[in-house]
Amino acid sequence: MIITDIRTAEVAIPLVTPFRTALRTVEEVRDVLVCVETDQGLQGFGEAPPTGVITGETLESITAAVQGWIRPALLGRDVMELEGIMKALHSCMVKNTSAKAAVDMAVYDLRAKALGVPLWKLLGGYRSQVETDLTVSVNAAGEMVRDSLSAVEQGFRILKIKVGRDSAGDLERLSAIRKAVGPEIRLRVDANQGWEPKEAVRIIRALEDGGVEPELVEQPVKAQDLAGMKLVRDSVLTPILADESVFSAGDAIRLIQLGAADLINIKLMKTGGIYGALQICAIAESCGVECMIGCMLESKLAVSAAAHLAGAKGVITRADLDGPSLCREDPYEGGPVFQGGQISLGDAPGLGFGPELLRTGAIFGKGNAQ
């Protein structure tokens, strides 16, 4: 099955409420969609979000990377010869991990469709359901309490609380949320690099002593500050999760060797797709480190690829795949079912989307196959 064309398009979906972290504020999901076409008529789909503050990519750079660099490297290759495709994808240019991820997931979608199996079964077949948390954006304490209660009402049992924008108020925010939602709801805290190492130790110890008891604290300090991550990890009881500190398999090895975190957050947009994510899974599993799978502000297509990976691998013990729940509408035809905190992967081949991808019909226009 030979790759004959790779096409791109843009999708825009409004968010339920603006998404606010220590790094940015976003009003809508506006992503690049990718379609990989083959000589047998099958199509594979992928998606990449422009997360400039984390991967350095924009809508324009993702489209240019796919069309100008990745497409020429992959045209004419056989979808079943995965190693050759992945070597070409990762050596045709450095960085641009989201652009690569969109094409990577489309190739995996195609392979699973060609074999007639859902991707989660092709990659390992560990579980058909995945439970995700829901993110609560960083705002004033009262607003975050209201958002947390509304998430619990929607059926979420795990909340991911964004902090780190104004560290002086973080303790108050988290205490108020714990008091409102009660002891049964699991709270994950994500500082998005917003704290200094000693400040992080002070805040996390206070959370432990004050009964907030988060399940984990994600990326408390700067991504490059592995010594700071280790200081925090060694000084508190709460598990520390590395997110922005780990993009690649090499980053995972360095982090584990240093003992700088307890857990690793895998995101397809950091690893350049499923192929690189599987390498981190293998390293983490062999070192006894559990992983979370996360997403950027992505809509259901890209998040579904991450959910299939979570369904495949036992080492992925936590999921932060709430992109579709933050979107006001679902433009896709088919795919996994997201309901409350539960994601049901289903048995449709590949990622599980219909042949047109969108409910409104074709989006990729006429091909320019050669």
* 25-38/3-20 β-pairing: antiparallel
Pick from 57, 243, 251, 322 the residue near Mg ion by CB under 5 A: 243
Enter the tokens of residue 125.
Answer: 């077949």
Helix axes of 274-286 and 249-258: crossing angle, nearest 10 degrees: 20
Under rule CB under 5 A, residue 298 binds Mg ion: no
Q: Which is nearer to Mg ion, 220 or 324 (CB)?
A: 220
Catalytic residue among 121, 267, 270, 300: 267
Do 31 and 15 meet the contact criterion of CB atoms below 8 Å apart?
no
Window 216-235: residues binding Mg ion (CB under 5 A):
218
Any idea what the Cα angle at residue 321 is, between residues 204 and 132, rounded to 5°?
70
Question: Nearest residue to Mg ion, using CB?
Answer: 243
> What is the contact mask toward Mg ion in residues 195 to 214, using x (rule: CB under 5 A)?
--------------------
Mask of contacts with Mg ion, 134-173, x by CB under 5 A? ----------------------------------------
Decide if residue 57 touches Mg ion (CB under 5 A): no
Adjacent-strand bridge partners of 343:
130, 338
Among 5, 57, 133, 190, binds Mg ion (CB under 5 A): 190
Shortest Å distance, C-beta 267 to Mg ion: 8
Active site residue 162: yes
**What are the residues whose beta carbons fall under 8 Å from the beta carbon of 277, sequence distance 6 or more?**
266, 268, 271, 293, 309
> Given 113, 121, 162, 230, which residue is catalytic?
162
- Is residue 87 part of the annotated active site? The answer reads no
First-residue to last-residue Cα distance in the chain: 16
CB 236 within 8 A of CB 207: no
Nearer of residues 218 and 251 to Mg ion, judged by Cβ: 218
Q: Which residues bind to Mg ion, rule: CB under 5 A?
A: 190, 218, 243
